[in-house]
Amino acid sequence: MLDIKFLRSDPEAVKENIKKKFQDEKLPLVDEVIELDKEFRESKTRAEYLRSQRNKISKQIGMLMGQGKKDEAEAAKAEVAAMADELETLSGKETELSEKIDKIMRVIPNIIDPSVPIGKDDSENVENERFGEPFVPDFEIPYHVDIMEKLDGIELDPARETSGNGFYYLKGDIARLHSACLSYARDFMIDRGFTYYIPPYMIRSSVVTGVMSFAEMENMMYKIEGEDLYLIGTSEHSMIGKFIDTITSEDKLPQTLTSYSPCFRKEVGAHGIEERGVYRIHQFEKQEMIVVCKPEDSMIWYDKLWKNTVDFFRSLDIPVRTLECCSGDLADLKVKSCDVEAWSPRQKKYFEVGSCSNLGDAQARRLKIRIKGPNGTYLAHTLNNTCVAPPRMLIALLENNLNEDGSIRIPEPLRIYMGGKSVIEVPSK
């Protein structure tokens, strides 16, 4: 969420940013919020004047009574009563205006970084860099569900019976491989100096609206009926929420955290074959990175975060690339974002396995996450990034390590979590 002082001082910059994000329907909101803000400040100024006058006159009432000037004292009392009525009206007006301003400010997009490429949607995202050589074997690679079924590692039909589409049972060595990826990711991030967390899996609406836009919330979050609680779509939500209404000393920054959680998402909309199976699902697990830092350090940490994901996948010998999100593909709170995509030998293209985002002070402003420095307090910057999110990551792992006979090579870093196994063999019939 933008600082209204910035919007007030440079509305044209805000409008230009809206145009860069191809959200022209929001342009009138800038002028609307400026008028509401003007009315709010005028109302507040009037209320402050009335309070000072009321206090001044109230002190005079006792003096007038002591001087026997009863009529003048009664007139002063009436004046004070009238002021009280007007103050009550003004208080209601300020509350109403403040709510209107806040509602509008929450849908005006954050100012994007100058380095963000301008484009309407994800089709105009820009490849940054490739890591590792993409490889296509000389045998056909089956669809990932077929690979798992041949290894007796997945059951989709029973999951549809218990829970519906978008759910799955993983079993045997595939389930173990899934857990191995998460365990390795946990230790990988701990070794890079991040503090490991297991957060709450449900959060209040005040946290949800602090970490994401209303549109994102409606499309992603599952509401717990009858309670002010939502299932998290990523542990970033509860981890950023941990800092709500806090003031952290500069010498305690940066806060570098890595968190494990299950994630729950509606995943609204129809999807093609590549997004069936375990690619786009309602329930999955993820190892996340979260950073809270000083504003001048946020771009440094942005680069460190996405490089962590690249290094993680390359340690498993999976080719990846980074894709810079264009202006039209950025969520409203984001300043800059890139996706990490893994190579799919079956599709002969890359697909998303993680996303790194710098949100500037947008979340911090909503949740009052502040830093205490030598010259006072100021808003923190927040960032998040995916280290790994199986079972989607399993697709890349299985395809890039598939043998012609259907068995799977287990990358060396995962073997310790697989009881020393180096291969998952096809079960004998």
User: How many angstroms separate the CA atoms of 417 and 205, rounded?
Assistant: 37
The verdict on 154 and 94 lying in the same domain is: no
Q: What was the pLDDT predicted at 296?
A: 97
Does residue 419 lie within any of the structural domains? yes
User: Within 13 Å and on the Cβ side, how many CA atoms surround 59?
Assistant: 5
Helix (H) or strand (E) holding 371: strand 369-373
The verdict on 382 and 269 lying in the same domain is: yes
What percent of the chain is predicted at pLDDT more than 70?
Answer: 97
User: How many angstroms separate the CA atoms of 22 and 44, rounded?
Assistant: 35
Does residue 338 lie within any of the structural domains? yes
Dump pLDDT digits (tens) for 336-360. 999 999 999 999 999 999 999 999 9
Q: What is the dihedral of CA 327, 330, 336, 338, to 10 degrees?
A: -100
Q: Which of 105, 132, 151 is the last residue of a domain?
A: 105
Dump pLDDT digits (tens) for 194-218. 999 999 999 999 999 899 876 777 7
Res. 274: pLDDT tops 70: no
The verdict on 74 and 196 lying in the same domain is: no
Q: Are 345 and 424 in contact (CB under 8 A)?
A: no
The verdict on 208 and 336 lying in the same domain is: yes
Q: Is 270 exposed, middle or buried (0-12, 13-18, 19+ CB in 10 A)?
A: exposed
Q: Which of 77, 105, 133 is the last residue of a domain?
A: 105
Dump pLDDT digits (tens) for 42-64. 999 999 999 888 888 877 876 77
Res. 20: pLDDT tops 80: yes
Residue 172: helix, strand or coil by DSSP? helix
Would you give the distance in Å from CA 81 to the centre of its chain?
Answer: 49
Range of the domain at 302: 122-424
Q: Binning pLDDT at 50, 70 and 90, where does residue 272 land?
A: low
Does residue 320 lie within any of the structural domains? yes
The verdict on 97 and 188 lying in the same domain is: no
The verdict on 282 and 140 lying in the same domain is: yes
393-397: average pLDDT? 95
The verdict on 179 and 87 lying in the same domain is: no
Neighbours of 288 (CB within 10 A): 28
Res. 270: pLDDT tops 50: no
The verdict on 126 and 98 lying in the same domain is: no
Res. 319: pLDDT tops 50: yes
Contacts with 209 (C-beta within 8 Å, 6 or more apart), sequence order:
106, 217, 366
Does residue 115 lie within any of the structural domains? no
The verdict on 97 and 133 lying in the same domain is: no
What percent of the chain is predicted at pLDDT more than 90?
Answer: 81
The verdict on 144 and 212 lying in the same domain is: yes
Termini Cα distance of the chain: 58
The verdict on 141 and 87 lying in the same domain is: no
Res. 285: pLDDT tops 80: yes
Q: Are 395 and 279 in contact (CB under 8 A)?
A: yes
Res. 220: pLDDT tops 90: no
User: How many angstroms separate the CA atoms of 122 and 350, rounded?
Assistant: 14
Contacts with 237 (C-beta within 8 Å, 6 or more apart), sequence order:
203, 207, 208, 211, 212
Does residue 319 lie within any of the structural domains? yes
Q: What was the pLDDT predicted at 238?
A: 96
Res. 423: pLDDT tops 80: yes
- The backbone torsions φ and ψ at residue 302, rounded to the nearest 5 degrees and listed phi first, read -55, -45
**Tokens for 135?**
């490889």
Give the total number of structural domains in the chain: 2
Does residue 110 lie within any of the structural domains? no
CATH code of the domain in which 38 resides: 1.10.287.40
Q: Is 45 exposed, middle or buried (0-12, 13-18, 19+ CB in 10 A)?
A: exposed
DSSP symbols for 321-353: EEEEPPGGGS-TT-SEEEEEEEEETTTTEEEEE
Peptide bond before residue 11 is cis, with ω within 30 degrees of 0: no
The verdict on 101 and 75 lying in the same domain is: yes
pTM for this predicted structure = 0.89
Does residue 354 lie within any of the structural domains? yes
The DSSP bridge partners found for residue 249 are 372
Does residue 429 lie within any of the structural domains? no
Q: Are 285 and 179 in contact (CB under 8 A)?
A: no
Q: What was the pLDDT predicted at 216?
A: 75
User: How many angstroms separate the CA atoms of 5 and 224, rounded?
Assistant: 37
Q: Which of 44, 71, 105 is the last residue of a domain?
A: 105
CATH code of the domain in which 334 resides: 3.30.930.10
Q: Which range, of 69-73, 90-94, 209-213, 321-325, averages the lowest pLDDT?
A: 69-73
Helix (H) or strand (E) holding 203: strand 202-203
